[in-house]
Amino acid sequence: MFRRLHRNTVLTFMMKKENAIDSAVEYDNNQFWKLVNKNKSKLAYTPGFEMTFEGKMLTHPKEINSGWKSHFRKLYSFFNHDAFDNNYKKYVDEELKGIIQHTVASVCSDDRVTTAMTKRAL
């Protein structure tokens, strides 16, 4: 709910800025360039794009992407940790194998659609 409200608020804010520039281009050339130059320095930073990774606040989209990259690299890398439950990992691996086998078996069944079945259905 909060994310949707936040996205809508940011979208409304950005639309107001764009509309101001659009109307200025039609009526006042000086005002148009004032608005463009004022917003030029803010193009790399859009309101609402702030993330904290490892205690560091990131605001630039490239920095945020690097933060996510680092986060997922750590998340999906194997490491030795005292709290790691190897039995649970084995359980999840077996469950995953079963799901894959069941999915492959159901997708690769011999229930092929024949021309006669298609004609009957039409």
Q: d(Cα 51, Cα 70) in Å, to the nearest integer?
A: 13
Look at residue 71 and tell me if it is in a domain.
Answer: no
In a domain, 76, yes or no: no
CB of 24 closer than 8 Å to CB of 35: yes
How many domains are contained in the chain?
2
Task: Give residue 109's domain range.
Answer: 86-121
Asked whether residue 49 is assigned to any structural domain, the reply reads: no
Q: Which residue has the higher pLDDT, 92 or 109?
A: 92
In a domain, 23, yes or no: yes
Tell me what percent of the residues of the chain surpass a pLDDT of 90: 2
Largest CA distance in the chain: 73
Confidence band for 91, pLDDT divided at 50, 70 and 90: very high
Residue 99 lies inside a defined structural domain of this protein: yes
For residues 51-66, average pLDDT: 84
Specify if 4 maps to a domain.
Answer: yes
Residue 69 lies in a domain: no
